[in-house]
């Protein structure tokens, strides 16, 4: 299934993508894509729904982030060896974990609103996964049992705040609109192998990133087992898993986003995002 949330920011309703590509309104059945809805039993109930019986959402309706604001928005840094190399960082021996503020989450086609003092805002196409059942100290052979589905994430990053100044990653990753998610939450059964997905990102129509989740240093299974050693993840929590090479900070000379730029990104099977960059 492909699940969505649609409508004005802060008042989104749940929806499902029908076989004909139209979006159908689930709000008469569920309040939102939270809690028990994301559990295996909850998703099975949605699979049994005759989507043709649901109201059609008008074409062009805004899509919000594919999950409501989670308790945790966890990110993994330098998880592609070639991306680590372009930033001049050593390949990590263990996953690098940091947080993005949940309030950074926005819809897949919402504007990226630059931080007021932004000088080095950058892009990162990433595969994210969404937790469906509570996860703590999860063994590797049970890891994927806790995944409700996958989605596309742009891990927008202000590099000056992330790596210069006092060098705290969360500062450069957490501004409002710096975490677009969606368009869809694609349930786990629809993605045969999350480690074989093509991914790309363009700025103003120019290809900047081309990669595949196949080149991750630490895969989804290992990440779930590792992260849940240190924290409990709850249904609806989001973990975004790192980016391939081609970010602005790795170019010579570096290139960063400015007002008027348009960012388009896609991951195989997970849809496409398009964001216009605007000044605050």
| Predicted confidence band of residue 21 (pLDDT cuts 50, 70, 90) | very high
Q: Are 102 and 194 in contact (CB under 8 A)?
A: no
Residue 50 makes CB contacts below 8 A (sequence gap 6+) with: none
Fold of 73-278: Fumarylacetoacetate hydrolase; domain 2 (3.90.850)
CB 68 within 8 A of CB 7: no
What is the per-residue pLDDT for 95? 97
CB 58, CB 47: distance < 8 Å: no
For residue 228, CA distances in Å to 53, 235, 265 come to 40, 13, 29
Position with higher pLDDT, 114 vs 163? 114
What would the pLDDT profile of 180-226 be if each residue is shown by its tens digit? 999 999 999 999 999 999 999 999 999 999 999 999 999 999 999 99
Give tens-digit pLDDT for 34-92.
Answer: 999 999 999 999 999 999 999 999 999 999 999 999 999 999 999 998 777 777 778 88
Whether the pLDDT of residue 117 is over 90: the answer is no
Longest dimension (CA), the chain: 55
Hunting for tokens 């159908």 — which residue is that? 24
Residue with tokens 């109201």: 55
Q: Does the pLDDT at position 240 exceed 90?
A: yes
* Residue 128, CA distances (Å) to 195, 223, 224, 280 in order: 12, 11, 12, 27
pLDDT band, residue 11 (cuts 50/70/90): very high
What's the pTM value of the predicted model, to 2 decimals? Answer: 0.96
The SS3 assignment for 245 reads coil
pLDDT computed for residue 199 by the predictor: 98
The candidate with the shortest Cα–Cα distance to 7, out of 26, 20, 21, is: 26
For residue 241 the two structure tokens come to: 């898993």
pLDDT tens readout for residues 126-170: 999 999 999 999 999 999 999 999 999 999 999 999 988 777 899
- Which positions ≥6 away from 131 have C-beta within 8 Å? 38, 146, 147, 148, 233, 234, 235, 236, 237, 238, 239
Q: What is the pLDDT of residue 176?
A: 98
For CATH 3.90.850.10, the residue range(s) in the chain are 73-278
- Average pLDDT, integer, range 236-248: 97
Dist. CA 104–CA 179, nearest whole Å? 5
């Amino acid at each position: 299934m492909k699940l969505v949330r649609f409508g004005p920011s802060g008042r989104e309703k749940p929806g499902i993508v029908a076989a004909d590509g139209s979006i159908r309104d689930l709000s008469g059945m569920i309040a939102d894509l939270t809690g028990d809805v994301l559990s295996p039993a909850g998703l099975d109930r949605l699979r049994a729904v005759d989507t043709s019986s649901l109201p059609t959402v008008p074409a062009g309706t805004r899509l919000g982030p594919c999950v409501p604001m989670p308790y945790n928005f966890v990110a993994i840094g330098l998880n592609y060896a070639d991306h680590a190399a372009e930033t001049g960082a050593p390949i990590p021996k263990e996953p690098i974990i940091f947080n993005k503020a949940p309030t950074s989450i926005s819809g897949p086609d919402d504007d990226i609103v630059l931080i007021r003092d932004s000088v080095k805002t950058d892009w990162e196409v990433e595969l994210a996964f969404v937790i469906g059942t509570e996860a703590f100290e999860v063994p590797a052979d049970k890891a994927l049992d806790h995944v409700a589905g996958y989605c596309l994430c742009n891990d927008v990053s202000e590099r000056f705040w992330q790596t210069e100044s006092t060098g705290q990653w969360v500062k450069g990753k957490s501004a409002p609109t710096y975490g677009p998610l969606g368009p869809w939450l694609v349930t786990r059964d629809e993605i045969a192998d999350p480690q074989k997905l093509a991914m790309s990102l363009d700025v103003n129509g120019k290809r900047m990133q081309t990669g595949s989740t196949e080149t991750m240093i630490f895969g989804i299974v290992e990440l779930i087992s590792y992260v849940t050693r240190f924290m409990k993840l709850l249904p609806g929590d989001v973990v975004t898993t790192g980016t391939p090479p081609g970010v602005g900070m790795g170019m010579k000379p570096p290139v960063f986003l400015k007002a008027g730029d348009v960012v388009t990104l896609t991951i195989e099977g997970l849809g496409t995002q398009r964001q216009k960059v605007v000044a605050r």
